[in-house]
Each structure stands twice: as structure tokens, then as C-alpha cells.
């Protein structure tokens, strides 16, 4: 019964009470008929009337209890979880819970104090994080000036770190991605031979390494780590970032120790790589309208990877209606010369490889992409998570689940300039997904399989609110 909500338990209780009341009336009337006190033909009508009256009274009592007690309890519990797990100062709406008496005020006081203590700690952490970020920026600047591109790879051949110059090399083949297989970028057989030679001959080996298309060959050095991982270094005297170009140093060393899960179903939610995306379109009809922008950002190890974003305008091949341009601000002039969906979609597919696709009202965005799969030459067979349904799991199916409302509940600020841009909406959706992960875990939903099972239960209950 742990997984059964308070509202469902209350409904089952009142349903049982209604059945018991009707049964009691039936037994009373039946007893009179059995003893011959009341003729049977005069009992049927009053029995039916009494049964319906009792059912109406009990269901009216249930409706009032559900509206004023059970539903506010569910809402209060959800808002307490948001405060406890999302480190937000989001206010509990006491007006919606005043029928609970002092319970709501007590919960508000406890969570407010918890929030104050959390923010005090968060302030200390933020200051230390800012100091470390300054040091990271200095290190990144130093690495950029050294003509060596650096990639750190785990024992399972997944990318754990790459610097700005390495990003330039990786981008010649595909979009740089943390936790992506190194074989997505370089010839696997050459890597295998180098690893074998390294195991036989020492801690460092120089060799030639070609990209997977064998169009570019690099002089590389491989150096081993004690845990089985290794470092790849490339001489990059010919690679220079522009003065105003981004110089990412993208890394997550926790990936070095991560063992691959036995299956996707059993994979912990925090261990998954999520590609959170959004599209802007010429209209709302997937079989007729077209995509004009795709934006995406990746979540690795429960954190947004700011150095890994995807943002492109798309030429829809026809005029963009003025009504649509008023919403997302994209005009015919802006998309002139931009890639068509076949190319843009293929590039997005490469960016999202080996990840779980996440979107707010995912069926809408996926229907536009899948319509052009043949032209792209790809199949979007990724696992998919819809944040509308994730919100429904946490806050209940009777609540509203528009993106703005979900962000407000989670204490996420949406910049007006970013709203209704593909990357802007993808970023706030990613932040919402990140904040909802601990809320799911608090409900006992800790693996991808359990999440999918819960979303399937609600898939038919939540209306499309976008």
C-alpha cells in the first residue's frame, strides 16, 4: 500500500463505506420481508431510493473530503518535498491548505527553517564553488595556450574530460560529448592496438590515430592510468581558437569509476545521460508544419553540462506564419541559408546519441523529428522521458503541468528573453528535470524502469496542456 496515494486510499475507504451502507439497508429491508412484516413488492422501490440516497450522501462526503483534506495533503507533501530536495525558497500556498488547520503552518515553519539552514550552507558552498570556478577558468586559459589537446578516457573507453583544443579535434568528426565512447570519434582498431602496446611496453606510447572516417590522421600520445583509464594527447600547433571563442574544459571525474549498468531498466536515474531538447515550429500540426529551431543541453551525472549545447536554426522550406514568428521571434530572413531539417536533424541525432531524450510534452516534438527520419537517414530509437508526466508523478494528475507552472513550483526563474527559444526552453526543462530527480528518488522511483512504469500509468490521464 506504500505506493498508493492518500487520495486513492480515501476514495477506497469511502467506496467501502458506501457499499457497507447500501448492504446494511438491504439487510434491514430483507429482514422485514423475510419475517413477513413488509410485503416484498412494497420494498423494492424504497430500497432503490434509499440506496441511491446513501450513495449520493457518501460520495458527496468523499468529494468534500477529497477537495478540502486529501488533495491539500497531497499538495502540501509535494511542496515540502520541493523544499527539502530542490534547495528552493518556494513558498507553501497556505490558502490552499487552510482546511488542514495548524498542520500546514507547522509544515511551513519546519521547512522554512530547513530552507534557511540549507541556504546558509549553500552560500558557503557557492563561495567555494566560485573560487574553484576562477581557478578552473585560469587552468582552461593555460591549457588553451599550450599546443597540446587533452582527452581523458575511462577504463570503459568513455570520454571523461576534454579541453578546448580537444573539442576542436572531436568536432571534426562529431559533437564533443562527455561519457561518449571514444570510438565515436577515432578508429577503434588503432586505439585497441595502442592500448595493447601500452600494456606490454610501459606507461606511454606515441602512435598515429585517424578519425573514424580515416580522413584526418593525428600524432597522438597515450598514457595509462592505474585504474585502467588513459590520457590521449595531440600536438595541435595548427589549431588555434579565436580570441573570443569559448574555451571549454569539460570534465566529470566521477565517470572514471562508473561501471556500466546491467541494463537500461535497472540503471539508476542519476547515472543516465539525458539530452534535454526543444523545438520551435511554424505551427502546431506535426504532419503539416515544420521545425525552425532545435535546441538541446545534456545532463551528465545529474548536472547540466554547460559546455555541451546544441542550437541551430532550421530552414523550413517555406514561409513562417506571422502568428508563429510573434511567439518565437524567428523570421524568414533569419532562417535563410540555414540547414534544412535533413541536415539539422542528423546533427542533432549525433549530439543525442547514447542518451535519454527529454522534452516537455515530448510526443509533440518527437512527431516532428520522426516525420523526417527517412530524409535524415537515422532512427530516433532513444528512450524518451516526458517532463509533463514526471511532473504528474510528483505533483499529481489533477494539477497543471505547463512548463511555466512546473518551473514556478520548483523555484526556477525563466528569463523572458529565453522563453520560446529552443535552447532557452531546453535549458529550463533541463533544470526542471534535474530538480525533479531527487523528488522521484524520494518517492522510491530510483531506476529508469520504475520511472517508465510510473509514466505509463499516467500517460492517459494527463491532458496535453501545451
- Domain membership flag for residue 256: no
Tell me which range, 26-40, 196-210, 367-381, is most confidently predicted by mean pLDDT.
367-381
Residue 373 and residue 437 in one domain: yes
Same domain, 168 and 91: no
Indicate whether 455 pLDDT > 70: yes
Position 396 scores a pLDDT of 84
Predicted confidence at residue 466, as pLDDT, reads 32
Chain centroid offset of residue 202 CA: 43
**Domain-terminating residue out of 63, 97, 117:** 117
**Residue 208 located in a structural domain:** yes
Is residue 289 located within the same domain as residue 237? Answer: no
Residue 345's Cβ-count burial label (10 Å; 0-12, 13-18, 19+) is buried
pLDDT in tens, 241-267: 554 455 568 888 888 887 777 789 999
Residue 287 appears among annotated catalytic residues: no
- Model confidence, pTM: 0.76
CA distance 6 to 218: 62
Shared domain for 418 and 310, answered yes or no, is yes
- Return the CATH number at 315: 3.30.420.10
* Domain termination residue (choose one: 193, 218, 251): 251
Three-state DSSP class for residue 70: helix
Q: Looking at the structure, do residues 269 and 245 belong to the same domain, yes or no?
A: no
Domain boundary among the residues 218, 251, 284 is at 251
Considering the domain boundaries, does residue 126 fall inside one? Answer: no
Average pLDDT, the chain: 83
Q: Is the dihedral of CA 260, 171, 225, 251 positive or negative?
A: negative
> What was the pLDDT predicted at 11?
80
Total number of domains constituting the chain = 3
In angstroms, rounded to a whole number, what is the distance separating the alpha carbons of residues 350 and 362? Answer: 19
Residue 464 pLDDT level (bands cut at 50, 70, 90): very low
Average the pLDDT over each of 188-197, 260-269, 320-329 and give the range with the smallest value.
260-269
**Average pLDDT of span 51-80:** 80
Question: What residue ranges in 69-191 does DSSP mark as E strands?
Answer: 148-153, 159-162
Confidence (pLDDT) at 312: 97
Whether 318 and 222 map to the same domain: the answer is no
As a whole number of angstroms, the distance between CA 192 and CA 194 comes to 5
For residue 83, give its domain range.
6-117
- 377 and 281, same structural domain? yes
As beta bridge partners, residue 231 has: 152, 223
Residues 445 and 404 in one domain: yes
**Within a domain: 240:** yes
Among 24-38, 145-159, 295-309, 413-427, the least confident range = 24-38
In a domain, 135, yes or no: no
Q: Categorize the per-residue pLDDT at 449 as very low, low, confident or very high, splitting at 50, 70 and 90.
A: very high
Q: Is residue 17 part of a domain?
A: yes
Do 78 and 396 contact (CB within 8 A), yes or no? Answer: yes
Is 233 in contact with 150 (CB distance < 8 Å)? yes
**Identified catalytic residue from 85, 90, 105, 420:** 420
Do strands 303-313 and 356-359 pair parallel, antiparallel, or not at all (unpaired)?
Answer: unpaired
| Cα–Cα distance, 437 to 410 (Å, whole number) | 12
**Most distant CA pair in the chain, distance:** 107
CA–CA dist 144, 146 (Å, integer): 5
In this model, does residue 386 exceed pLDDT 70?
Answer: yes
pLDDT at position 298 over 90: yes
User: Is the domain of 169 the same as that of 52?
Assistant: no
Per the listing, cell 503552518 goes with 105
Is the domain of 170 the same as that of 72? no
140 found inside a domain: no
Residues 245 and 271 in one domain: no
| Cα 211 to Cα 188: distance, rounded to the nearest angstrom | 9
Domain co-membership, 277 together with 234:
no
Q: Which band of pLDDT confidence, cut at 50, 70 and 90, is reported for residue 23?
A: confident
What is the pLDDT confidence band of residue 317, given thresholds at 50, 70 and 90? very high
Q: What is the mean pLDDT of residues 214-240?
A: 82
Closest CA relative to residue 455, chosen from 427, 435, 433: 433
State residue 96's pLDDT score.
64
Q: Do the domain assignments include residue 125?
A: no
Amino acid at each position: 500500500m506504500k505506493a498508493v496515494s492518500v487520495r486513492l486510499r480515501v476514495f477506497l475507504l469511502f467506496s467501502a463505506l458506501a457499499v457497507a451502507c447500501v448492504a446494511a439497508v438491504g439487510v434491514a429491508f430483507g429482514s422485514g420481508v423475510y419475517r413477513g412484516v413488509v410485503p416484498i413488492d412494497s420494498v423494492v422501490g424504497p430500497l432503490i431510493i434509499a440506496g441511491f440516497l446513501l450513495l449520493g450522501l457518501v460520495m458527496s462526503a468523499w468529494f468534500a473530503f477529497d477537495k478540502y483534506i486529501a488533495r491539500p495533503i497531497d499538495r502540501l507533501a509535494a511542496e515540502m518535498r520541493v523544499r527539502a530536495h530542490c534547495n528552493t525558497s518556494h513558498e507553501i500556498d497556505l490558502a490552499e491548505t487552510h482546511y488542514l488547520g495548524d498542520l500546514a503552518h507547522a509544515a511551513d515553519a519546519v521547512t522554512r527553517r530547513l530552507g534557511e539552514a540549507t541556504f546558509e550552507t549553500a552560500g558557503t558552498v557557492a563561495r567555494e564553488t566560485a573560487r574553484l570556478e576562477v581557478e578552473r577558468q585560469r587552468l582552461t586559459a593555460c591549457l588553451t595556450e599550450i599546443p597540446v589537446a587533452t582527452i581523458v578516457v575511462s577504463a570503459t573507453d568513455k570520454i571523461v574530460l576534454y579541453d578546448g583544443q580537444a573539442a576542436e579535434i572531436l568536432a571534426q568528426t562529431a559533437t564533443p560529448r562527455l561519457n561518449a565512447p571514444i570510438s565515436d570519434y577515432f578508429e577503434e582498431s588503432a586505439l585497441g592496438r595502442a592500448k595493447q602496446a601500452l600494456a606490454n611496453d610501459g606507461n606511454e606510447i606515441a602512435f598515429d590515430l585517424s578519425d573514424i572516417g580515416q580522413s584526418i590522421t593525428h600524432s597522438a600520445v597515450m598514457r595509462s592510468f592505474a585504474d585502467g583509464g588513459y590520457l590521449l594527447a595531440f600536438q595541435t600547433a595548427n589549431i588555434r581558437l579565436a580570441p573570443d571563442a569559448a574555451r571549454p574544459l569539460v570534465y566529470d571525474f566521477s565517470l572514471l569509476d562508473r561501471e556500466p549498468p546491467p541494463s537500461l531498466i535497472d540503471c539508476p536515474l542519476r547515472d543516465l545521460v539525458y539530452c534535454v531538447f526543444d523545438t520551435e515550429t511554424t505551427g502546431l500540426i506535426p504532419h503539416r508544419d515544420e521545425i525552425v529551431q532545435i535546441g538541446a543541453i545534456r545532463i551528465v551525472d545529474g548536472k547540466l553540462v554547460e559546455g555541451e549545447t546544441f542550437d541551430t536554426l532550421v530552414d523550413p522550406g517555406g514561409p513562417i506564419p506571422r502568428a508563429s514568428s510573434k511567439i518565437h521571434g524567428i523570421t524568414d530572413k533569419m532562417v535563410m541559408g540555414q540547414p534544412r531539417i535533413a541536415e539539422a536533424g542528423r546533427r542533432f541525432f549525433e549530439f543525442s546519441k547514447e542518451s535519454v531524450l527529454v522534452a516537455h510534452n515530448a510526443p509533440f516534438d518527437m512527431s516532428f523529428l520522426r516525420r523526417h527520419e527517412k530524409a535524415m537517414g537515422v532512427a530516433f530509437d532513444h528512450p524518451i522521458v516526458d517532463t509533463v508526466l514526471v511532473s504528474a508523478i510528483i505533483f499529481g494528475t489533477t494539477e497543471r503541468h505547463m512548463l511555466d507552472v512546473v518551473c514556478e513550483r520548483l523555484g526556477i526563474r525563466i528569463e523572458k528573453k529565453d522563453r520560446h527559444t529552443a535552447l532557452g526552453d531546453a535549458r529550463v526543462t533541463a533544470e526542471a528535470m534535474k530538480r525533479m530527480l531527487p523528488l522521484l528518488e524520494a518517492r522510491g522511483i530510483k531506476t529508469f524502469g520504475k520511472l517508465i512504469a510510473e509514466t505509463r500509468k499516467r500517460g492517459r490521464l494527463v491532458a496535453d496542456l501545451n
